[in-house]
Amino acid sequence: MSVKIRFFARFRELLGTDVLATPAPGMTLSGLVKDVAGENKEGYDAIFDEQGAFREFVILMRNTKRVDTADAEKILVTDGDEVAVFPPVAGG
């Protein structure tokens, strides 16, 4: 099984752009992001709080559809998924 995780803005600086991961069967979306982000403490801390929950400002998408971070613990990743992780977006 292969899944692509795309990090954007500050998260990209810390964790890379397009990361290919091979999650274990039954891995959740949250578990996958934790696994990959765990490679860099600063990156992990930017996305997750002290209890291991997504920070409230994190935007999570799976296959171009937004996912509520509270649901990420229940959603299983599947082969070919593309996951995107964004920090807060601001513009001007």
Backbone angles phi, psi at 62, to 5 degrees: -135, 120
Examine residue 35 and state whether it is found in any structural domain, yes or no: yes
Give domain status of residue 92, yes or no: no
How far from chain centre, in Å, is Cα 35? 9
C-alpha triplet 51, 32, 64: angle, nearest 5°:
110
Q: Compute the half-sphere exposure of residue 42: CA atoms within 13 Å on the CB side of its CA.
A: 7
Q: Quick check: is 91 in a domain?
A: no
Residue 45 lies in a domain: yes
- CB half-sphere exposure, 8, CA atoms < 13 A: 12
Question: What pTM value is reported for the model?
Answer: 0.92
What is the domain count for the chain? 1
Answer whether residue 91 shows pLDDT above 80: no
Residue 34 lies in a domain: yes
In tens, the pLDDT along 45-75 reads 999 999 999 999 999 999 999 999 999 999 9
Task: Say which DSSP state 65 is in.
Answer: E
Q: For strand 65-67 and strand 82-86, is the pairing parallel, antiparallel, or unpaired?
A: unpaired
